Amino acid sequence: MANVLHHSLLTEFDISLFRAGKHYKLYEKLGSHVIEVDGQWGAYFAVWAPNAQAVSVTGNFNHWNRDSHPLSPRWDSSGIWEGFIPGVGKGELYKYHIHARDGRHLSKGDPFALFWEVPPNTASITWDLDYQWNDKAWMEKRRERSGLEQPYSVYEVHIGTWK
């Protein structure tokens, strides 16, 4: 469907890490990401729904129409559904509409969303982690001092979770 373009942020290496349960930066690959693809700005959506018959994105940008923006399953049987929707920007409300293999229709928030509505509302919100820091002067000043010569505080160290 022309409303959703095929695009993937996932490489074969990402999928191998995902399958091994060792992809520690999945938040960079799954969820929604406002990006530019072939000169068009929009949002890339990806969700793991291995038992889905179909997955689509609903939101305020399509009047919550579950038929207008279907995602495609990846060819590698990973259970990940993905697609790029041109024109969807930062701040759009959305959910995944999942048509399960058992016939149920479910509307779900994004488990990898970066931003959400305030309860009792439950929609995810497209967002962007890019931030323009304005602390260059402080960072330069910090570089002049040795952290080893300054007082420090250790709040907690738990050897069982240390990596």
Residue 42 maps to a domain: yes
Q: Give the mean pLDDT of the chain.
A: 92
Q: Give pLDDT, residue 1.
A: 44
Domain that holds residue 88: 12-132
Distance CA 44, CA 88 (A): 9
- Over residues 57-74, the pLDDT tens digits come to 999 999 999 999 999 999
Mean pLDDT of 40-63: 97
CATH code at position 56 = 2.60.40.10
Instruction: Specify the pTM.
Output: 0.81
Distance CA 112, CA 30 (A): 6
Distance CA 94, CA 104 (A): 19
Residue 153 maps to a domain: no
Distance CA 110, CA 108 (A): 6
The model's confidence at residue 2, banded by pLDDT at 50, 70 and 90, is low
Number of structural domains found in the chain: 1
State yes or no: pLDDT of 149 exceeds 60.
yes
Distances (CA, A) of 129 to 17, 32, 44: 23, 11, 14
Q: Give pLDDT, residue 159.
A: 77
Distance CA 159, CA 157 (A): 6
Distance CA 42, CA 3 (A): 11
Q: Give pLDDT, residue 163.
A: 65
Distance CA 42, CA 86 (A): 4
Q: Give pLDDT, residue 146.
A: 73
Question: Are the C-beta atoms of residues 74 and 82 closer than 8 Å to each other?
Answer: yes
Amino acid, single-letter form, for residue 145: R
Rg (CA), the chain: 20
Mean pLDDT of 121-134: 90
From 21, 122, 25, 116, select the one nearest 78 (Cα to Cα).
21
Residue 159 maps to a domain: no
Mean pLDDT of 6-27: 95
Residue 158 maps to a domain: no
42: its two tokens? 């929009």
The model's confidence at residue 93, banded by pLDDT at 50, 70 and 90, is very high
Measured over the CA atoms of residue 85, residue 88, residue 91 and residue 94, the dihedral's sign is negative
